[in-house]
Amino acid sequence: MGREKSAPSVGADSLKPEKPAHQPYLADAAMPDTVAILPAPPASHSAAENADKVAFNATRALKGSPRWDLATADVAEGASAILDNFACVLGTRLDQVRVPALITLLERSRLDIARATRGPKVHYRRLRPFVGNDAPICVQRSQQLADSFSYPSGHATQGWAYALIMASLVPGKATAILTRGRAYGESRVICGVHWMSDVEAGRTNGAAIVAALQGDAGFRTDLERARQDLGRALAAGGPSPDQAVCAREEAAAKEPVL
């Protein structure tokens, strides 16, 4: 499978340096207070914390399985990765150069998603599940990753927010898109870099930021441009996704984490 990658931060700017920097959609006054919206992570020695630990320990046995491989593939994040994540759902692989309006929408939204995630992470400073043990995880261990805090999951926030946006763009495939978005978040538990409650909070976080984005005129304008962009690309067709990958994703959607 090759050398394991280090998990990138959802707050990292993935834009090419030669491109103009995008700005987030939401002004400070319109940004949801996600520290207030999200509940606190499970208390020490609580039933919820115990459930988190059970999920982490049980999923270490998945190393080397197809579900582990999918979790490793789901480490990649950002606007371009979303095209790969939803290729099976859409039925075609799309190059980002064919959908520039969609990429712009997702990259700008990503900056708002990062802001929504950063506040709770710094506020709660929850340690990731692999800290203090040698249990296998699907990415390369690093001090930077260990210090980046666990609650809520940035990947799960982004994955659910992107799934909601994509479902609104292709409503005929909303069920499959949202199912894939759920599995993407669960990959963080399989990977061993987040607690289950981090992922659940990430879904709430993602929904909150998308709700706020819907109130922004610039976002709505870009959403319609992306709808036209994506519609043309899907009508034109493209290379078929890898059927082995699609089978792996379909199986993951049906399998409970535990």
Residues that are catalytic: 155, 188, 194, 198
- In angstroms, how far apart are the furthest CA atoms of the chain? 55
DSSP per position, 121-147: HHHH-PPPTTTTS----SS---HHHHT
Q: Distance between CA atoms of 10 and 184, rounded to whole angstroms?
A: 14
DSSP per position, 189-237: HHHTSS-HHHHHHHHHHHHHHHHHHHT-HHHHHHHHHHHHHHHHHHHH-
CA dihedral 196, 13, 80, 59 (to 10 degrees): -20
Q: How far is CA 243 from CA 88, 89, 92, 240, 248, in A?
A: 8, 11, 11, 8, 9
The helices-and-strands tally (H runs, E runs) of the chain is 12, 0
